[in-house]
Chain A
C-alpha cells in the first residue's frame, strides 16, 4: 500500500502538532571556554520550515559522536545530550527453587525514560546470560531453579524501542530447599490460609557498592540510622545488617565526602526472608556537588566541584533556559572540579547537578545545587555555615531524623506552631513541610 498525499499531509499535521508541544527538545546555544555555537539548528540537512501555526524541523539524528573536532574544540551532534541511565542496584533473595530479584528504577538523564527491563540469568559468573523481558517493573522472581546451585543475574534497562542501554552489576544467589511449609488451605468455595507458626531465624542483608575515597557511608533502615562505614581508597564499601525479621525494609544509603558534603540518597526496598542472607550489589552513589559562588557575575566563571568514585567520567548538567552539559573526570582521590563561563546563562536562578560513570556503570543524579547569575560575584560560605542552616533540623542537633519528624508530626494540621517549623512559610504545617524535611534527612 503506497503512501498517498493525504497520508503525508496528515503526517505533517500530526508531527507539527507534536513538535509544537511544550516538551519539544530544541537546540540551544552552547559554549565552552574556547568556543561558542549560537542559534544552532538540529537537522538532517533539510533545514526547517515555519508558519504562524506550525513548525517543521528536520530529523534529529546522531550519525557519529565527536565529529568535527580540533585541538581546541569538539562539536558533537546532539550537543552532548547523551542518553544515559543510572544502572540499577539489584538485590537477590534465595528461596526454594527460586530467587527473588528487585532493583532500583534506572534513572534516565536528559529527559530519557526507561521502557522496560531484561533479566539476565546464568549459572556461570559473568555469563553468558539467558535474557527474559519482564516489562517495566522493578522486581521479578526467577523460578524453576535447582537448589544448591548458584545463579548469577544482571538487570538491563531498555529504551522504548527495546534497545539495551545499560547493565547492572552482577548479583548471585543460591536457592535452598524449604525447611518449613505453609498450612494447608481449606477447600471449597472459599479458603483461609493459616500460616504455620515457624521458628523465626533472623535474616541479614549485605549492601555493597561504590562511594568516594575517605568518605563515610551511612546506612538507614526504614529511615533509622543503622551503621556508618568508613570508606577506603578503593571507594568500595560493604556493610552487613543482621538480626532482621521477615518483611520488606527500605534501606537508604548516602555518603558524606571529605568536605562534609552529602550525596543524594539511594533507596532500595528489600524483602528479606527468615534465615536467608540477601545481597544488594552495585550501589553506585552519585557524586557530591558544590559550587564556589552562590551568585556569579554574568560572564564570569563558576566552579562546580565534588567527589565521586576515583577516575570516573563526570557529567555536569546546568539547568536553565539554556541547558548546558559538561564532561570532566575525577582524579585518583575521586575529586572533580570544573569551571565554566556563565555568559550563555540568563540573569536569574539556576541549578546544577552531576552524575558519574565508571566501568559501564552509571550513578544516579547528585543533589541539585542552586546558584544565581547576577551583577556581582558572591562567594559561597564555609561548610560550617551551611550545616547550621540544615533545613528540617528543628531541634538543632545537626541531624534531620525521627525527633525532627516527631516535632513536625506533633504540629501537623495544628495551629500555634513556632514559625521556624513551617519550612515553606505557608502559615501551616502540611505534608509539604514533611517533604522538605525528608529531602534533607540524615537519619
Chain B
C-alpha cells in the first residue's frame, strides 16, 4: 500500500511537495565550501593541467584557512601558484612537504566574504587511471568573530579519469612572471617578543604571480647602493641584528620564483660617522670648498 502510494504521487504532485518544503523553509543557508576547479576537464596521460583551490564562504565571514590537499599517485605536482589569491598573509604558503600532500595555512585580516581563489596547483598526469584529489582532515576555516570559531565547511573531493596518451600532450598555459614582488617596508622591532635579545628586522611581502622564493639581506654604509654592488646572504624574518648592523643601512631583497627582485632599505639605527659622510658628502664637499674659498679670501683681505 505504501509503495503503491509513493509510485502514484507523480511528477506534478512531487513538485507540489517540493514547493511546500521550500515555502516552509524559513531560511536557506549555505555552508562554506572549499572546492577544486579543474581545467581542462579532460586529461590524458602526459598532460599538464591546473586545479584551482577555491573558497566559497557561504553566509560566513572568515579570516583564516588551513589544511592539506592530498592527491593520488597518478599525478605529479609541477607547481603551486598564488596568482589571484585572496589570501594576503601566508603563515605556511602552500607547499609539498611530503609525497602527495600540499599543506597550507593563511590569514585574511579583517575577514573575507564571498568566493575567491586560494591557490592554484599545476599537475602532470603520470599514467592512465583515475586521479583523486581531496582535502585532508586537518582542513578548516575560521570565522572573523574574534573567537576563532571554526566554520561549518563542505570539502567535496575531485575524482576524474586520465585517458591514454594520444599525440602531443597538452601543456597548461603559464604566463611568464616578469613583475617584481610587491614593495614592502621592513620594520625594526625589539627582539623580546621573538625570544631574542637586541633588535630584529621584521619583513614580509607578496609576489602576485609566482610567489616569494626567498629573502636576502645585505648591509652598506651607503644608503643608495646598487643591488648588484651588494653582497647578499639568505635571511628569514625576524632577522636578528648582528654587530655593526645598527650603524649601517640594511638592505632586504625579496626574490620571487621567477627570479624577479624587490629591494627595501632600512636606515641605520644609530649614528654612524661613515654613513653620515656617505649620505652627506656632496653637502660636506660644498661646505669644504666654501670654507677654503672663504679662508683664501680672508687671507687676501688681511693682507
Contact = CB atoms under 8 A, between A and B. Distances in A.
A113 B26 CA distance: 11
Contact of B148 (A112, A192, A424): A424
B187 interface: yes
Nearest to A432: B148
A303 B267 CA distance: 50
A435 B142 contact: yes
B66 interface: yes
A6 B21 contact: no
Given A113-B29, A436-B148, 12 more contacts: A25-B26, A113-B27, A191-B173, A220-B110, A247-B209, A252-B110, A265-B111, A405-B204, A407-B194, A423-B148, A431-B65, A435-B143
Nearest to B169: A190
9 contacts: A6-B6, A60-B26, A190-B168, A191-B170, A222-B206, A254-B110, A424-B147, A436-B146, A438-B63
Given A7-B16, A267-B108, A406-B204, A439 B63 contact: yes
Given A1-B13, A188-B168, A194 B110 contact: no
Given A111-B27, A406-B237, A441-B109, A189 B66 contact: no
Interface in B95-128: 105, 107-116
A250 B108 contact: yes
Contacts of B146: 368, 391, 436, 439-440
A59 B26 CA distance: 10
A438 B107 contact: yes
A38 interface: no
A376 to B, nearest CB: 26
Nearest to B188: A403
Contact of B107 (A137, A271, A434, A443): A434
Given A188-B168, A403-B187, A431-B142, A271 B84 contact: yes
- Give the bracket for the number of chain B residues in contact with chain A: 35 or more
A267 B193 contact: no
A295 B99 CA distance: 54
A402 B204 contact: yes
Contacts of B144: 435, 438-439
Nearest to B88: A222
Interface of A: 1, 3-4, 6-7, 10-11, 14-15, 18-19, 23-25, 59-60, 104-105, 107-108, 111-113, 115, 137-139, 160, 185, 188-195, 197-198, 200, 220, 222-224, 245-248, 250, 252, 254, 264-265, 267, 269, 271, 368, 391, 394-395, 402-403, 405-407, 409-410, 412, 416-418, 421, 423-424, 431-441, 443
A227 to B, nearest CB: 14
B218 to A, nearest CB: 20
Contacts of B246: none
A292 B188 CA distance: 39
B110 A438 contact: yes
B182 A395 contact: no
Given A10-B17, A195-B176, A410 B107 contact: no
A60 B27 CA distance: 12
Given A14-B21, A195-B175, A438-B64, A246 B208 contact: yes
A435 B63 contact: yes
Contact of A189 (B5, B64, B83, B169): B169
Contacts, number: 237
B64 to A, nearest CB: 4
Contact of A265 (B13, B110, B173): B110
A193 B28 CA distance: 43
A248 B85 contact: yes
A370 to B, nearest CB: 9
B190 interface: yes
Given A14-B21, A18-B21, A407-B193, A267 B112 contact: yes
A223 B110 contact: yes
A11 B16 contact: yes
Given A107-B113, A395-B193, A431 B169 contact: no
A431 B202 CA distance: 20
B13 A18 contact: no
B238 interface: yes
A223 B109 contact: yes
A186 B25 CA distance: 54
Given A15-B20, A395-B189, A439-B144, A246 B179 contact: yes
